A and B are shown apart, each in its own frame.
Chain A
Amino acid sequence: MSKRLIIFPRMGNSWISFKTYIKNIGDIPIIPRPLNKRVLELGVKYSPEGICFPFKVLLGQYLDLFERLNLGKERKVYIISLGGYGPCRFGYYNALHEKILKDLGYKNFEIITVEGIDHPFYRGFPKFIKMIGKLFGFHPPWKVIKGFINAGYKLYFIDKLEKLAYKIMPREINRGETLNTLNKALTILDKAPYNNLRKIKEAYEEGVEMLKRITIDKKKEVIKVGLVGEAYMLMDYDNNREIEKKLAYLGVEVDRSLRTSTWASDRIIFVKKHKEHMMKIIKPYLNCFIGGDGQESVMNTILYKEKGYDGVVHVLPFGCLPEIVAKEILAKVSRDIDMPVLSISLDEQTGEAGLITRLEAFVDLLRERKYKQKEVLV
C-alpha cells in the first residue's frame, strides 16, 4: 500500500506528537500553518455566520492546505479529526466540514472521524470498525502500539515543558528569554527520532536543563491566575492571542487548567472517574451534563480557589453553547466563593489593544486585593 497523506488539525504544540504517530505508522503527515490572516480569511468566508470560532479556524486550515499544496482534487488526502454525539456543536464539525469542502469542489478527500459508536448499533458498529481500520492503516499491531506510546510520551513531555516554562516566565530577568528557550527545546523534541523512546526522553531532559539555566529573580512576588475555558481556545496560543504570554509578562504565574495530555486522560481514558469527581464539585451550581468544557470551567474555578489562586481568566469563543452557560453561572460562583473571574469571549474581530487593557486592569485589581488582604492581616 502506498503512503497516505494525512492532515491533522493544528492545536498549540501538540502537532509534534501527532506527527510522530503518523510517521510511526508509515504515512506522510502534513502540518497546517499556524493561524494567520490568510487562514482566518478563508475560514470565515466559507463558514456559516453564527458558528463558533474553532470551526472557522479548522476550515481555514484545511482550505489553506488544499489551496497551497494542490490537494483534494487530484491527490487523495485524509483528514483526522475528532467527533462525538454530545450537546456541544463540536461533534458535528466533521460532517459540516465535509459538506462545505465538497460544496467548494474538493471531492478527493476523506475525513477520518475518531468517535464512539453511533446509534443504532447495527449501523454504527460497522462504521466504527471502518474508522479504526483507517486510523491504524494496514500495519502490524505492535507498530501501532509503539506509535501510540512514542506519541503519547511526546505529548506528555510537551505539556511538562510548557508548564515549566510558564512558571519561569514571570520571574525571568531578560524579557523573552524563556520563550526563545522553550521554542528551542520544542524543536529539539521535534527533531528527536520518532521511533526511539530513549532518544525522545534524552531530548526532553536536555530541554528541561536549558529551561532551568535561565536566570530568574527569586524574590519577585507574583500573583497566581488560573486559566479556564474552551479546550481549543486554551490550548492553541494563536487562538487565544497568546494570553498566557501576555499575563506572564504582566508578572502573573499562569496555570492552564486543560492540557492536551490531561484532556485525553479525562475524556478518553478515565471518563467515569472524571465525571463523578466533577459532578460532586459543581452540583450546587450546575446539575446536568452540558457537553463541551462548560462543566470543567466551573469545576476548575472552584478548584483554583481551593488551591489558593488569586483570580481566574475564562476564555471562550463567541457563541460557544456550553461556555456561555458557564459564563452566566461563573458570575454566581464568583460571588459565592469570592474569586474574581474575567470572561473574555474571542472571535475573529477581537482587537489586540482591547484585550491587553482588560488583562492589565484585571491584574491590577488582583494585585490590589492581595495587597489589601496582607495589610489587614498585619
Chain B
Amino acid sequence: MREKTIGIARGLYYYMYYPMWKKFFLELGTKVIVSPPTNKRIMDLGVAYSVDDICISVKVYHGHVKYLLDRNVDFIFVPRIVSEEKHKENCPKLLSLPDLIRDTFSIEESRILSPELYFNWNRAKTEEELFKIGVLLSNKTRKEIKSIIRKSLAFQKTYEYYLNRGYNTLELYPRLTNLKKLKPKKMKSGILIGIVGFPYDIYDGYLNASILDKLKKMGINYVVSNMLNYKLINRSYKFLNKDLFWHQSNVALKAGLYFLSSKDIDGVITISSFGCGLSAIYTKLLDIFNKERNKKPLIHLVIDEQTGEAGILTRLEAFLDLLKIRKGREIYV
C-alpha cells in the first residue's frame, strides 16, 4: 500500500497548530506535504480564486490550497477550529474555512479532512474528531490511535512552553524534532518592541515585507504577541467594559494592553491585514487606551496585496528612530 499524502497549507492556523498536526500525521504513518512559503505565484492564485473583499490572509490561504491540489495530494487538511477558549468564538471566515475551500474549488467531500477542533476546552470532542481521521488514514488499533492523539496534543503544549521561553514560531518550526535541547533565550540589552497581531500576518514574510528579519538585522529585540503566556496576560481590565469574543483578537488585544502598560517595552507595532474586521476593533481600543494612559509610541501597519517593501521599511525606520530618540540616544546622520 502506498503512503497517503496529506497536504497542509502554509497559512492561517498553520502558524499556530502545525506542531500538533505534524506529530499526529507522522505517527499515523502518512506523508505530510506543506506548501512552500508564500510567493508571487501563490499570492496570484489566491487572489484569482477568492472573493474580492475578503482579507488578504484568507486569499493567500486559497492560493496555498490551490498549489497543493495541483500537486495531487490525497487529502487536504483544512480543520474547522470552532473555539480556542470557553465561551469564545472565532472569526466567521475561519469558522467556515472548510466550506469556503470546498465550495470554491469543488473538492469532493471525501478528499477534504475537516475535523471540528476545540482547543483548551472540550477535549473529548477534539479527540473524537481526530479519532475518526485516524481510523480513516491508518489501520492501527483503537488503542494506538488514542495514544497518538494524546501524544500530539501534549506535543502542542510542549511547543507552547518553548514559545514562552523567548523563541518565536519561525525559530521553533525547524527544530520541532529536538525541542528538548533548547535553552531559554537571553535577550540582548537595547530597544525592546512588542509586535501585536495574528500569527498568520506576522510570520508570513512575503505579506509583511519580512519585518521580523529586518528587525533582527538591525539588532532590535522584539516580543510577538503569541509568545506571551495567555493565562498570565488574560486578566480583566477596568478599561474594557466587554471582552472581545474572538479568541485570537482577544490574545492580540490583551497582549497589546500588556505591552502598553509594561515598563520594559519601548514601543508597540501592530500588524494587520487589510479587510480584517477584527483588527479594526482592537487597534481602535489600543489607540484609546494609549491616549488615556501612558503615551507610548504605537504604529499600525496594514498589509495588503499591493504593499510595497519600501513603504513599510520607511515607516519602520522612522518609528525606530523615534524610539531611539526617546530612549535618549542620539542619531548620527
- Interface set of A (CB-CB < 8 Å, partner B): 48-52, 85-89, 91-92, 94-96, 98-100, 103, 118-119, 285-292, 294, 318-322, 324-325, 327-329, 331-332, 345
Contacts and interface: CB of A to CB of B under 8 A. Distances in A.
A96 B284 contact: yes
B82 A288 contact: yes
Given A95-B242, A96-B285, A99-B285, A321 B103 contact: no
Interface in B223-276: 240-242, 244-246, 274-276
A286 B82 CA distance: 14
B241 A87 contact: no
Given A87-B95, A294-B92, A328-B50, 7 more contacts: A85-B87, A95-B240, A118-B242, A290-B95, A325-B93, A329-B96, A329-B103
Interface string B32-57: 00000000000000000011011000
A87 B103 contact: no
B277 A51 contact: yes
Contacts of B276: 50
Contact of B104 (A100, A288, A318, A328): A328
A338 to B, nearest CB: 16
26 contacts: A50-B274, A50-B276, A51-B280, A85-B89, A87-B90, A87-B245, A88-B92, A89-B281, A96-B285, A103-B291, A119-B86, A286-B96, A286-B99, A287-B98, A287-B99, A288-B95, A288-B96, A290-B95, A290-B96, A291-B89, A319-B53, A321-B277, A328-B51, A329-B96, A329-B100, A331-B103
Given A48-B281, A289-B95, A327-B51, A103 B241 contact: no
Nearest to A327: B51
Interface in B276-308: 276-281, 283-285, 288, 291-292
B91 interface: yes
Interface string B126-150: 0000000000000000000000000
B103 A96 contact: no
Contacts of A319: 53, 275, 277, 280
B80 interface: yes
Contacts of B291: 103
Contacts of B292: 103
Interface of B: 50-51, 53-54, 80, 82, 86-87, 89-93, 95-96, 98-100, 103-104, 106, 240-242, 244-246, 274-281, 283-285, 288, 291-292
A88 B82 CA distance: 14
B138 to A, nearest CB: 26
A119 B87 contact: yes
Contact of B103 (A94, A100, A285, A288): A285
A50 B246 contact: no
B92 A87 contact: yes
Nearest to A93: B281
Contacts of B281: 48, 51, 89, 92, 96
B284 A321 contact: no
Contacts of A87: 89-92, 95, 245-246
A100 B100 contact: no
B99 A86 contact: no
Most chain B beta carbons < 10 A, residue from A319, A321, A331: A321
B97 to A, nearest CB: 9
A48 B280 contact: yes
B280 A290 contact: no
B255 to A, nearest CB: 18
A341 B271 CA distance: 35
A99 B242 CA distance: 11
B100 A89 contact: no
Contacts of A285: 99, 103
A119 B291 CA distance: 29
Nearest to B114: A287
Most chain B beta carbons < 10 A, residue from A100, A103, A325: A325
Nearest to B279: A50
Nearest to B104: A328
Nearest to B275: A319
A48 B283 contact: yes
A328 B100 contact: yes
B271 to A, nearest CB: 14
Contact of B54 (A88, A96, A324): A324
Contacts of A294: 92, 96
Nearest to B100: A328
A325 B86 CA distance: 24
Given A328-B54, A329-B99, A331-B103, A292 B92 contact: yes
3 tightest Cβ-Cβ pairs between the two chains A and B: A50-B280, A332-B103, A290-B92
Nearest to A48: B284
A285 to B, nearest CB: 6
B291 to A, nearest CB: 7
Contacts of B285: 96, 99
Contacts of A100: 284, 288
A52 B245 CA distance: 17
B93 A324 contact: yes
Nearest to A294: B92
Nearest to B244: A92
B284 A288 contact: no
Contact of B99 (A88, A288, A292): A288
A328 B50 CA distance: 7
Nearest to A316: B53
Contact of B92 (A50, A52, A291): A291
A286 B288 CA distance: 37
Given A48-B280, A87-B245, A89-B277, A325 B92 contact: yes
B258 to A, nearest CB: 19
Nearest to A282: B99
A324 to B, nearest CB: 5
Contacts of A290: 92, 95-96
A96 B96 CA distance: 26
Given A318-B53, A327-B51, A331-B103, A86 B245 contact: yes
Contacts of B98: 287
Contacts of A89: 277-278, 281
Given A86-B245, A98-B241, A285-B103, A52 B89 contact: no
A327 B50 CA distance: 10
A79 to B, nearest CB: 14
Nearest to B277: A321
Most chain B beta carbons < 10 A, residue from A49, A50, A92, A320: A50
